[in-house]
Amino acid sequence: MAQAIRRIGVLTGGGDCAGLNAVIRAVTKSAIFQHGLEVYGIEDGFLGLVQNRIRPLGPDDVSGILTQGGTILGSSNKCDPSQYATRNRDGKIEKRDVTNRCLDHIDHHRLDALVVIGGDGTMSGAANFVHHGINCVGVPKTIDNDLYGTDVTFGFATACHVATSALDRIRTTAASHHRAMVVELMGRNAGWIALHSGIASGADIILIPEIPFDIEEVCERLQHRHRRGAGFSIVVVAEGARPSDGSLSVSSGDADEFGHVQLGGVGNLVTAEIEQRTGYETRVTILCHVLRGGTPTAFDRVLATRFGIEAIDAAHEGDFAKMVALSGGEIVRVPIEDGVSELKTVDPGLFDVAGVFFG
């Protein structure tokens, strides 16, 4: 029988999204009321482990947070303990492995297990702790829905709802002014948000990372619509979409500790090319971080709650090194490393949508 645990830590890493607080609430209440465990919150993801910012969580701390966006614990997507950035004596940035410092802090607070909530970078960090003997249970989170091993991640449904609502509003002003409207959404390596919100809002063109686009063909499609009497067009672009020549739009050349460069700007490039090549008045709207914030949808609240409860059940049973996941409507457990084994990109079967051009 697995050794009984008495105290757990919970952290939220990576970019924030709607539903994080619902997981924290479910983890805390389930741990305390169902299993008699103590819960400690780790602030700002792995950064809190490095800096020893760990505090008790009780029922009052998580009361009323179900409907709130963001995370009461804070988050960071710039801290990988195995590659922690510090300044040396010369003032230059160097990266060091400070995993042992985190292990000391875990031991100091007598944490028997960690519930790690995050995306691919956070799950990779959890896998590193597992290799160092720390009991971890993962909870998959990302608005991009690109985490392998689960049908869907919480945060995705809310991001699609926000994007679709915005596109519905943009459609009315596009029609009124007879413009081509380009809307840039998040989606670094996978175009799930752009695809789902684009289809839901009736977008005419959807550009995603999975399919390199030819800007000349994009413009020809817009001109074809114009000749048929269409007074406006909606073009949805994922931030990671790239033209067929392979170039990628980045807003910063600096990479974070997980090797991610900050993307952005492809919407501006597409807008400029459309206006120059077609002569149509074209405007761009960049939503990006708007998709992360705000109140979670009912679906994300329920999914996040189910994930949190299952994570505590797994910890209580001693079923560690697992990530909770959604499979065919059921909550299951898969090895954490399965969650980062590969990127979950858009299913090609979803591309066959009447009236939509994918570049």
For the record, the structure tokens of 300 come out as 């994300």
Of 144, 146, 204, 300, the catalytic one is 144
Alpha helices in 89-190 (DSSP H): 99-108, 120-131, 156-177
Per the annotation, the verdict on 144 as an active-site residue is: yes
Distances (CA, A) of 259 to 29, 43, 192, 262: 35, 22, 21, 10
- At residue 327, the 3 state secondary structure works out as strand
Can you say whether the dihedral through the CA atoms of 23, 292, 248, 225 is positive or negative?
positive
Rounded CA-CA distance 248/61 in Å is 43
Length, in residues, of the chain:
359
Rounded CA-CA distance 143/163 in Å is 11
**Using an 8 Å Cβ cutoff, are 159 and 189 in contact?**
no
Residues in CB range of 91: below 8 A, 6 or more apart: none
Rounded CA-CA distance 38/221 in Å is 59
DSSP letter at 292 equals T
Angle of the 99-108 helix axis to the 120-131 helix axis, nearest 10: 70
Residues recognised as catalytic: 144
